[in-house]
Structure 1
Amino acid sequence: MGLLRLDHTGIVVEDLEAAIAFFTELGMEVEGRATVEGEWADRLTALDGLRSDIAMLRTPDGSGRIELSTILHPRTTARAPWEPVSTPGIPRVTFVVEGLDGVIEGLRAHGGRLEGEVVRYEDALRYGYVRGPAGVIVGLVEYLH
């Protein structure tokens, strides 16, 4: 048996409520919230005493999910990398949207920052990157059909 499907993308954030607001502004829907802790979580993460608040969000069509989590214990002093989009290992998640310019403006109200410019690729699409919660790069694609 091999790969069946992508289940979700996980993003650790400092401010869970702000991250939820960012992604719901984008159009995602909160599927559920929970606190994660216990021996199974410690074993999974190799962290002693893990305690994390999470929110699971899904795309409107139900085909994609993002798990946002904030780690309450153990706390880290490290910060998320705020590197250019070309840096290996930088998290990037891409969504198809309608009304790209309006989506970007809505995300700006939640701390989103346009990286580079929105560009047009031939007659097929417009594409832009927005820096979101914890430095994650959110790709936004608008197909031109």
Structure 2
Amino acid sequence: MTKRNFPIMHNVGIVVESLDDAISFFSELGLTLEGRGMVEGEWAGRVTGLVSQRVEIAMMVTPDGHSRLELSRFLTPSTISDHRTAPVNALGYLRVMFTVDDIDETVSRLLKHGAELVGEVVQYENAYRLCYIRGVEGILIGLAEELGDK
């Protein structure tokens, strides 16, 4: 095994209230459910510092197979804060950005599944069209359409 001197991202995790709704939403965006199960036991609490926990998780994978999104629903302990309506400049706020082929078509599809456009679709130079949407659970999602030679 070759030793690496750099990290490779495995996944981004987001805590949700409804795992089924989140899976459905991210499936509409094009991710695939890779697996779903329970994470519990003494070892799990030692990793997170929560002592005892019971969490249902779903791992979603992007179409290219390189990126993953871990959706978690805490059964115990219950969640203690809610950042779903926090503005994009809130400290520690998480947003996930995806590159899409057609931003207008993607936004249109996601709006039909409960997403809301945060601002507007804008163009950055001759490089990208960009926007933020709030998806299911209030999750902030960035969309980027590369311009020019695709």
Could you say what the CA RMSD is over the residues aligned between the two structures, in angstroms?
1.4
The 3-state SS of whatever aligns with 1:117 is coil
Alignment map for 1:8-87 (pairs within 5 Å): 8-87=11-90
Structure of higher RCO (CA pairs closer than 8 Å, 6+ residues apart): 1
Is the CA contact (8 Å cut-off) linking 2:83 and 2:93 kept in structure 1? no
Count of residues paired in the alignment:
145
Residue 122 of structure 1: aligned partner: 125
The 3-state SS of whatever aligns with 2:7 is coil
More strand by share: 1
User: What fraction of aligned residue pairs are identical, expressed as a percent?
Assistant: 47
Gaps of 5+ in 2: none
How far 1:66 sits from its partner (Å)?
A: 0.4
Residue 107 of structure 2: aligned partner: 104
Gaps of 5+ in 1: none
TM-score relative to the length of structure 2 = 0.90
Is the CA contact (8 Å cut-off) linking 1:112 and 1:130 kept in structure 2? yes
Measured against aligned partners, the alpha-carbon deviations of 1:24-57 in whole angstroms (never above 9, x if no partner) come to 1100111111110011111111223301110101
Name the aligned partner's letter for residue 123 of structure 1.
N
TM-score relative to the length of structure 1 = 0.92
